[in-house]
């Protein structure tokens, strides 16, 4: 594993797994939320974001976590491994709530500078509806990926068992 894409619903553990794999395999870790958001939760210009993702994807080694399917092409073209964290909606929402409470008002290590954690009803709805609206499309990406495909299911999805 030299270029690893991690996808999954909000709160599934993408960033946690990315940090673990990066440390274990000596790979740089890139959280797409840091590339997308600017201070004050202002979205980066779409063209600038696509260019940044393409730049990251062309690096020789990495773990990149985040969905942002508009920019999935360069990542999948360069990746040798794709991991999808397939967790139930209730767990996704529970983890989003727990994260928001634990880090409220502070910038998480995997968040963009100047973007303190906050809790928004719209984001909770997005997390709750992920499996109904986006799961099938995400799993279809996994199925068509030519490299190593890993789907971690259930409540222990972010535990890197067997990924050593």
Q: Where are the domains of the chain?
A: 3-152
Domain 3-152: which CATH class?
A: alpha beta
- Retrieve residue 100's tokens: 């928001």
Say whether pLDDT at 45 is over 90: yes
- Euclidean distance between CA atoms 44 and 50, whole angstroms: 10
Please state, as a whole number, how many other Cβ atoms lie within 10 Å of the Cβ of residue 62: 21
CB–CB of 116/107 below 8 Å?
A: yes
CB–CB of 79/20 below 8 Å?
A: no
Say whether pLDDT at 108 is over 60: yes
CB within 8 Å of 37: residues ≥ 6 apart = 43, 44, 111, 112, 115
Say whether pLDDT at 157 is over 60: no
- Retrieve residue 23's tokens: 């440390």
Average pLDDT over every residue of 73-101: 95
Record the pTM. 0.91
Say whether pLDDT at 105 is over 90: no
Average pLDDT over every residue of 49-66: 97
The pLDDT score that the predictor gives to residue 33 is 95
The pLDDT score that the predictor gives to residue 34 is 95
């Amino acid at each position: 594993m030299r270029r690893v894409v991690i996808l999954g619903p909000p709160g599934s553990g993408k960033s946690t797994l990315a940090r673990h794999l990066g440390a274990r395999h000596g790979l740089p870790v890139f959280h797409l939320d840091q590339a997308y958001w600017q201070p004050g939760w202002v979205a980066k210009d779409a063209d600038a974001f696509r260019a940044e993702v393409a730049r990251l994807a062309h690096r020789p080694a990495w773990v990149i976590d985040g969905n942002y399917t508009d920019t999935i092409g360069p990542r999948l073209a360069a990746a040798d491994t794709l991991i999808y964290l397939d967790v139930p909606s209730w767990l996704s929402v529970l983890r989003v709530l727990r994260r928001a409470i634990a880090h409220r008002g502070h910038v998480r290590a995997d968040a963009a500078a100047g973007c303190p954690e906050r809790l928004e009803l719209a984001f909770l709805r997005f997390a709750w509806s992920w499996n109904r609206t986006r799961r099938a499309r995400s799993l279809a990406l996994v199925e068509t990926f030519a490299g190593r495909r890993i789907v971690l299911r259930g409540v222990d999805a972010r535990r890197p068992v067997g990924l050593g």
